[in-house]
Structure 1
Amino acid sequence: MSVLNHPSLFLFLGLCFGAAIGYLLRKQFIEGHQRNIQAQSRQIIETAIVEAEQLKKEAILQSKEEVYQVKQALEKELKADREELKDEERQLAKKRENLKKEWDTLEKKTRDLQQSEEKLKDKEVSIEEKNREVDDLLAKQRYEMARIAGISQEEAKKMLMDSMESEARMEAAKRLARIENEAKMEADRKAKNIIALAISRYAGDYVADKTVSMVPLPNDEMKGRIIGREGRNIRAIEAATGIDIIIDDTPEAVILSGFNPVRREVARLALLQLIGDGRIHPGRIEEVVNKVTNELEVTIREAGEQATFDVGAHGVHLELIKLLGRLRYRTSYGQNVLQHSLEVAFLCGIMASELGLDVKMAKRAGLLHDIGKAVDHEVEGSHAIIGRDLARKYGEADDIVYAIGAHHEDQPPQSVLDVLVQSADALSGARPGARKEMLQSYVKRLEDLENIANSCPGVDKSYAIQAGRDLRIIVDANKISDEAAILMSQDIARSVEEKLTYPGQIRVTVIRETRAVEYAK
């Protein structure tokens, strides 16, 4: 048997051939798989490159957008800064213009003052010359009278003195009238300009928040609920508030009576809340009164803070702010005292500005001038003195303290600020509609004015007009001369100042009428 025909050899060769084919196939499969992996790797890399490029573009766009927004914001801020600088430049230009006007006004006033001094000097020289002339005339008259009449020097002196006294009184009355007219014209012109400007710049509406002493009820049955069983509810309300509750025949209303306006307001608000709630018993009453008291204290403080803010008074002590807020519930002749204080503050500021004084200090003094009225029902004394002591206690400046104490002449005025506060207080209290008076006291004042005028000799008729602010007096022309009419107006004005108390001022006008009558036949 040959070797080629041996079966084992064929099997061995077949296995070798199969192994070779398997190796080749496996190698080919591995190479193909590697080629696929490389292709996928290249594709992943290309995709990553594309995505990176996209992210880069997006990042560049986003950064450009942020840069643009920052640029816009900076441009906006720069524009706002430029506008603010322009506003400041305009304000500075305006202030420079105002300073220039004030300087021109000051120079004009200085020139006027110099001219007035020169006129006064001329008048003094003229008066001295006239006095010398009068002395010469007197000497000559004495000599002639003694020579002609043959009387003694003492008798002649007495006759001359009587004659010269009469002439001097007439001459003095004439000169007094002329000087007073000149002074009045100049003073009236300046005063009217200042007051007219003050009134025109503060021509605000006036609304007085009056404290209400009557509480309306939904029905008369509510009176019984307010009284409570055996009066325990009404006693609880009176004990908690310190206010007397008067329940009478007035339909659907109860009356609150008490001197303390803040307590009266607490009682009014608490009673309204109890009526609206419907639960009226001692425990609930005490709870509501405490709640209303706390709320009203906040309201009072806010009212005081608002008043100081409106006026521009900074650094006012908290206790003074609270007292200012209490003035919201205080009235004087029907005028709300807080509104009155604000008016006085604004008027003081306007007049101080015209006079070149410290406007802030004038406003502060005007705002605090009636601060004593917040506690005048608790402390003895004039409200001006009480307010002065309170302002000094809480650290106000000495000028403001003195102005508060002097605004009703409890102490004599010492500075222009004192007079400004007095004037502004009179303006606010005396303007039409500001205050109310009882009819009896109003009529009594008119009668007293006319009686003072009629008590003077030579008065024919007298009329108190313009709500008692103008007294017109008609005199007999045969008994009263023009010069005597001037002296009569001064005497009556002084008598009115001494005997009567009144707000503002009263003008006294004496009218002397001369008639010439003839008949044509």
Structure 2
Amino acid sequence: MDPIISFVIVAVVALLVGIIAGKFIFAKSTKEKIQEAELKAQTIIKEAELRAENIRKEKELQAKEKIVSLKSAHDKEVNERNRKLAETENRIRQREQLLIQKELTLEKQVKDNDVIKENLNKQIEIVNKKRTELEKHQEEHIRRLEKIASLTAEEAKSQLIETLKNEAITQAIGIQQEIIDEAKQKANKEARKIIIQTIQRTAAEQAIENSITVFNLESDEVKGQIIGREGRNIRALEAATGVDLIVDDTPEAILLSCFDPLRREIARLSLQRLVTDGRIHPARIEEVVEKTRKQIEEQVMEIGERTVIDLGIHGLHKELVRMVGRMRYRSSYGQNLLMHSRETANLCATMAAELGLNPKLAKRAGLLHDIGKVPDEESELSHALLGAKLAEKYGESPAVVNAIAAHHDEVEMKYIIAPIVQACDAISGARPGARREIMQQYLQRIKDLENLAVSYPGVEKAYAIQAGRELRVIVESDKVTDQDSDRLSFEIAQRIQSEMTFPGQIKVTVIREKRAVNVAR
């Protein structure tokens, strides 16, 4: 055989022999290990049994201890409940005893009340008897008094009521006068304070305007050109402007006369342009006057816008702005209307701020209060009502409309700014030098004041002194008593206040004196 194969066979046989021998040895060792494992398992089981026994005994002891503690707690709770039940039973017994006592007391009180009621009934019967007797005695006494006084009870009662009524009226007039005087003092003091602060904080320029404008010329030769051939130039100028031109012997001057300052301004500017240009004839006059009128309209709008901007008033309708500008060429009692409206607006704003009101709204109403004096068309309405109508037409607020309409008391004042506008309008017009009053109107007002006082019975004479600021009334002492003097002074003051229109205030003084005259011979 091939040695290699023989070696392989021998090797395989040797491997098999080794495997068999290894299995025999492994089997022997495995058996020994199993025996050792069984011994260990028995030992572990015994130890586990011992440990389980110990644990069981410990749990039994713990359970017994817990049972004992629970039993003690239960006994304690039961004892506490029993104690509370005992206390509740004691309280209930005490309440029962109190109720029994109260019931006994009430029964006793009911018995006592019955006795008291019987006594009261007896006393009531006695009082009724006495009242009946008293009424009889009173009737008998009244009959005796009527017999003595020769008057019935009703007549005496009416006389007494009349006497008390007269005394009450006299006392009421005195008290009313005192209350009015005290209220006037307080109101005048506070109002004077606010008005003085308002006037002091508002500076205004006053200028008295006339109805005549003087147009100065470089020489008297120009007068002939202005007059024109047979006066045609001056007639054309008067017809185009509505202004009277007075050409007299006054050197280097022509007078422009018209009640409307706007027309006078148009005539003055037109005449100035014509004289500067040198071409003076009717056609040229009409052309220049028309251009000047358009220029004045633009200036009017510009003046209105500047005034509104200066016063800080926003959202005013363009037509109202134009009317504000037209005020520049209007006057009232010689006072420029625009200056008066501006001053009134500033006064209203200051006074409203002092009173804690809306100064912007008051300023708006103050500026627009006289727009009824510059309408585009003539109207039969008064300037206050017409101004309110225009303001309402152009979207002003109801407060402003009411303030405009009510500033001369033609309608009722519904908003708080209405009396402010009225007061500030009077303040602006009453400034020294602000307005001119026609002498005839002033004299008529003084005369009406005196006639009003003389119309009362018992008044002998009446004198208006201090430019109509005080009215002194002299009464006949035989016809007017001292009490009547107080009432007469009060009534005259109230009537002046309600019937007459006057600036400031009027003091009414009633003078009553008794003279005894004898002659020693």
Q: What TM-score, normalized to structure 2?
A: 0.65
Question: Are 1:243 and 1:263, in contact at CA under 8 Å, matched by a contact in 2?
Answer: yes
Corresponding residue for residue 23 of structure 2? none
Structure 1 residues 320, 407: closer, same or farther in 2, change over 3 A?
same
Per-residue deviation, 1:469:
3.2
Question: Are 2:492 and 2:508, in contact at CA under 8 Å, matched by a contact in 1?
Answer: no
Task: Report SS of the residue matched to 1:471.
Answer: strand
Corresponding residue for residue 402 of structure 1? 402
Corresponding residue for residue 348 of structure 1? 348
| Greater alpha carbon shift after TM alignment, 286-295 vs 309-318 | 286-295
1:469-499 CA-to-partner distances (Å, cap 9, x unmatched) read 3323344566544543332233223443565
Mapped to 1, the partners of 2:171 and 2:510 lie a distance apart of: 20
What letter corresponds to residue 367 of structure 1 in structure 2?
L
1:143-162 matches, within 5 Å, as: 146=146, 148-162=148-162
Corresponding residue for residue 175 of structure 2? 175
Question: Are 2:462 and 2:474, in contact at CA under 8 Å, matched by a contact in 1?
Answer: yes
Mapped to 2, the partners of 1:258 and 1:352 lie a distance apart of: 38
Task: Report SS of the residue matched to 1:381.
Answer: coil
Question: Are 1:477 and 1:512, in contact at CA under 8 Å, matched by a contact in 2?
Answer: no
What letter corresponds to residue 322 of structure 1 in structure 2?
R
Question: Are 1:384 and 1:405, in contact at CA under 8 Å, matched by a contact in 2?
Answer: yes
Corresponding residue for residue 453 of structure 1? 453
Structure 1 residues 194, 486: closer, same or farther in 2, change over 3 A?
farther
Per-residue deviation, 1:287:
3.4
Mapped to 2, the partners of 1:339 and 1:389 lie a distance apart of: 23
Mapped to 2, the partners of 1:457 and 1:376 lie a distance apart of: 51
Mapped to 2, the partners of 1:249 and 1:438 lie a distance apart of: 29
What letter corresponds to residue 167 of structure 1 in structure 2?
E
Confirm or deny that 1:379 pairs with 2:379.
yes
Mapped to 2, the partners of 1:276 and 1:212 lie a distance apart of: 22
Question: Are 1:145 and 1:156, in contact at CA under 8 Å, matched by a contact in 2?
Answer: no
Corresponding residue for residue 78 of structure 2? none
Question: Are 2:370 and 2:383, in contact at CA under 8 Å, matched by a contact in 1?
Answer: yes
Corresponding residue for residue 411 of structure 2? 411
Structure 1 residues 358, 462: closer, same or farther in 2, change over 3 A?
same
Structure 1 residues 506, 280: closer, same or farther in 2, change over 3 A?
same
Mapped to 1, the partners of 2:313 and 2:502 lie a distance apart of: 28
Corresponding residue for residue 320 of structure 1? 320
Mapped to 1, the partners of 2:144 and 2:384 lie a distance apart of: 65
Q: Which runs of 5+ in 2 are unaligned?
A: 1-141
Corresponding residue for residue 432 of structure 1? 432
Per-residue deviation, 1:460:
4.8
What letter corresponds to residue 303 of structure 1 in structure 2?
I
1:34-45 matches, within 5 Å, as: none
Corresponding residue for residue 66 of structure 1? none
Question: Are 2:482 and 2:512, in contact at CA under 8 Å, matched by a contact in 1?
Answer: no
1:158-237 matches, within 5 Å, as: 158-208=158-208, 212-218=212-218, 220-237=220-237
1:153-208 CA-to-partner distances (Å, cap 9, x unmatched) read 23213322331232112111121122212212221121111111112212434235
Q: What TM-score, normalized to structure 1?
A: 0.65
Q: Which has the larger radius of gyration?
A: 2
Question: Are 1:488 and 1:510, in contact at CA under 8 Å, matched by a contact in 2?
Answer: no
Question: Are 2:489 and 2:508, in contact at CA under 8 Å, matched by a contact in 1?
Answer: yes
What letter corresponds to residue 235 of structure 2 in structure 1?
R
| Greater alpha carbon shift after TM alignment, 207-216 vs 303-312 | 207-216
1:50-99 CA-to-partner distances (Å, cap 9, x unmatched) read xxxxxxxxxxxxxxxxxxxxxxxxxxxxxxxxxxxxxxxxxxxxxxxxxx
Structure 1 residues 466, 276: closer, same or farther in 2, change over 3 A?
farther
Structure 1 residues 227, 242: closer, same or farther in 2, change over 3 A?
same
Corresponding residue for residue 129 of structure 2? none
Per-residue deviation, 1:340:
0.7
Corresponding residue for residue 503 of structure 2? 504
Task: Report SS of the residue matched to 1:473.
Answer: strand
Corresponding residue for residue 467 of structure 2? 467
Corresponding residue for residue 332 of structure 1? 332
Q: CA RMSD in A?
A: 3.0
Per-residue deviation, 1:413:
1.2
1:124-154 CA-to-partner distances (Å, cap 9, x unmatched) read xxxxxxxxxxxxxxxxxx9997475131123
What letter corresponds to residue 297 of structure 2 in structure 1?
E
Structure 1 residues 498, 179: closer, same or farther in 2, change over 3 A?
closer
Q: Which runs of 5+ in 1 are unaligned?
A: 1-141
Task: Report SS of the residue matched to 2:230.
Answer: helix
Per-residue deviation, 1:246:
4.5
Mapped to 2, the partners of 1:239 and 1:403 lie a distance apart of: 40
Corresponding residue for residue 272 of structure 1? 272
Structure 1 residues 503, 185: closer, same or farther in 2, change over 3 A?
closer
Mapped to 1, the partners of 2:357 and 2:281 lie a distance apart of: 59
Mapped to 1, the partners of 2:169 and 2:321 lie a distance apart of: 57
Structure 1 residues 511, 347: closer, same or farther in 2, change over 3 A?
same
What letter corresponds to residue 238 of structure 1 in structure 2?
E
Structure 1 residues 220, 480: closer, same or farther in 2, change over 3 A?
farther
Corresponding residue for residue 289 of structure 2? 289
Per-residue deviation, 1:361:
0.1
Task: Report SS of the residue matched to 1:472.
Answer: strand
Identity of aligned residues (%): 49
Corresponding residue for residue 444 of structure 1? 444
Structure 1 residues 465, 277: closer, same or farther in 2, change over 3 A?
farther
Structure 1 residues 379, 254: closer, same or farther in 2, change over 3 A?
farther
Mapped to 2, the partners of 1:216 and 1:389 lie a distance apart of: 42
Structure 1 residues 354, 237: closer, same or farther in 2, change over 3 A?
same
Task: Report SS of the residue matched to 2:509.
Answer: strand
What letter corresponds to residue 185 of structure 2 in structure 1?
M
Per-residue deviation, 1:513:
6.1
Per-residue deviation, 1:455:
2.7
What letter corresponds to residue 173 of structure 1 in structure 2?
I
Per-residue deviation, 1:227:
2.3
Mapped to 1, the partners of 2:158 and 2:355 lie a distance apart of: 52
Structure 1 residues 204, 255: closer, same or farther in 2, change over 3 A?
closer
Structure 1 residues 494, 176: closer, same or farther in 2, change over 3 A?
closer
Task: Report SS of the residue matched to 1:467.
Answer: coil
Task: Report SS of the residue matched to 2:462.
Answer: strand
Task: Report SS of the residue matched to 2:313.
Answer: coil
Mapped to 1, the partners of 2:174 and 2:348 lie a distance apart of: 37
Mapped to 1, the partners of 2:426 and 2:213 lie a distance apart of: 28
Corresponding residue for residue 490 of structure 1? 490
Mapped to 2, the partners of 1:403 and 1:497 lie a distance apart of: 21
Corresponding residue for residue 42 of structure 2? none
What letter corresponds to residue 485 of structure 1 in structure 2?
S
Per-residue deviation, 1:307:
1.9
